[in-house]
Amino acid sequence: MKLFGFPVIKYDECLMSWLVRSFSGIGESSILQYISSLADPDFDLENEKVLDFLSGLGVGGRVARDCFGARTAWLLPWEERTAYCFRCLQEDISSGSSPYWRKSWCYLHNPICVKHRELLEIADPISNELQKSWTVFIQKCSEKYGLVPDFEISWAHPNRFGKKLMLALRVQDFLTRAHKADYIRLRGHDVVVSGAAVLAVARLLFESFLFPRLRPPCGDGIATGGRAGFPRTAGIISIEQARQRGCSDSNVHSRMTALILIGCVFKLFPLERFKDVRDALELTADVYSGEAYDIGRHGMRLSSSNEYKLTIEFLDGLPAGLKGCLGEFISGLNNSAPDVILG
Ligand SMILES: [Zn+2]
């Protein structure tokens, strides 16, 4: 979309990306002032300050929501919006425009670039500046041509992941469709189920599978096995906060593993495909089979008998078709004992 005097808003572009591109010619002081009091400079399009600011640029509320609105509530927080696809940025440049930040990179369930079928890369959150697109582009070019950057940034370089990536991408596509459609077909089961119900179950699974690392081995989500370093629970005082923290982490490896496990629960691919990749996922022995029953029995991180009861009730209340698809998983959960994880 073209607004007079400003660059064209690109498909799937984040608000801050467009603002930075718009103001790069005249300095960023007004943007800095604008974001200083906002919790979410990209997606808080109900905020009066944001609407006033955009209105001053000639962008009405409806246009703002149409162009910059999120396609999901599953957003990584502002400081964790560090995952990006370098090849997308590269194409922006080679097409003669400035690189821009995509909204889809900010979604929990999207660790993979759909266009290039590659795992996103992660920029250091500490260096996550307003000019994110240019920062990562320049850094990457410096590395490529052997130049030493004058600022220090550490980078995670995903290799090519082949089969693992393609399985995760299948689940990512499934969840993207569930966000868009009221109803979605589960092919293996030949039933049509509500997109909202699928998302409610998927969110429950994400929260368990990505549960942040505690004192090992207690409590760690099963998708976090490949992570190194210290536990990530500093400052967390409740289970709810911990679940939020797990789902607020941009780590692409954990998110890719969680997607594959969600695919196992929904049976989105034959178990044989999972067996091809499971050794690379660093799973605990009790869910290594990839069977939905085992994941239900051993893979959930429920904190109390009450939470366990509520989860069983939630699953029991699902529409019949979806409940049928999840039968083995529910059966496994019914035969498990809740783990007490935070004391
Ligand atoms: Zn890409």
Is residue 114 scored above 70 in pLDDT? yes
Digit-coded pLDDT (tens) for 241-264: 888 989 999 999 999 999 999 999
Is residue 34 scored above 80 in pLDDT? no
Mean pLDDT to the nearest integer, 313-334? 95
Is residue 291 scored above 60 in pLDDT? yes
Digit-coded pLDDT (tens) for 73-96: 999 999 899 999 999 999 999 998
Q: How confident is the model at residue 149 (pLDDT cuts 50, 70, 90)?
A: very low
E strand or H helix at 138, and its extent?
Answer: helix 132-144
DSSP, collapsed to helix, strand or coil, labels residue 192 as strand
pTM of the model: 0.90
Distance separating alpha carbons of residues 231 and 246, to the nearest angstrom: 11
Q: What is the pLDDT of residue 298?
A: 92
Produce one character per residue of 144-161: b if its CB has 16 or more CB atoms within 10 Å, e if not.
eeeeeeeeeeeeeebeeb
CA of 284 to the centre of ligand 1 (A): 32
Q: What is the pLDDT of residue 27?
A: 55
Distance separating alpha carbons of residues 323 and 316, to the nearest angstrom: 7
Is residue 186 scored above 90 in pLDDT? no
Nearest to 311 by CA among 343, 342, 284, 338: 338
CA of 93 to the centre of ligand 1 (A): 13
Mean pLDDT to the nearest integer, 291-300? 95
CA of 89 to the centre of ligand 1 (A): 7
Instruction: Report the amino acid identity of residue 308.
Output: Y
* Maximum mean pLDDT: which of 33-37, 84-88, 301-305: 84-88
Digit-coded pLDDT (tens) for 208-218: 999 987 665 56
Q: How confident is the model at residue 1 (pLDDT cuts 50, 70, 90)?
A: low
Token couple for 5: 């005097």
Domain layout of the chain by residue ranges? 15-107+121-144, 162-334
Is residue 229 scored above 70 in pLDDT? no
Q: Which residues surround ligand 1, an ion (CB under 5 A)?
A: 85, 87-88, 113, 115-116
CA of 102 to the centre of ligand 1 (A): 10
CA of 199 to the centre of ligand 1 (A): 25
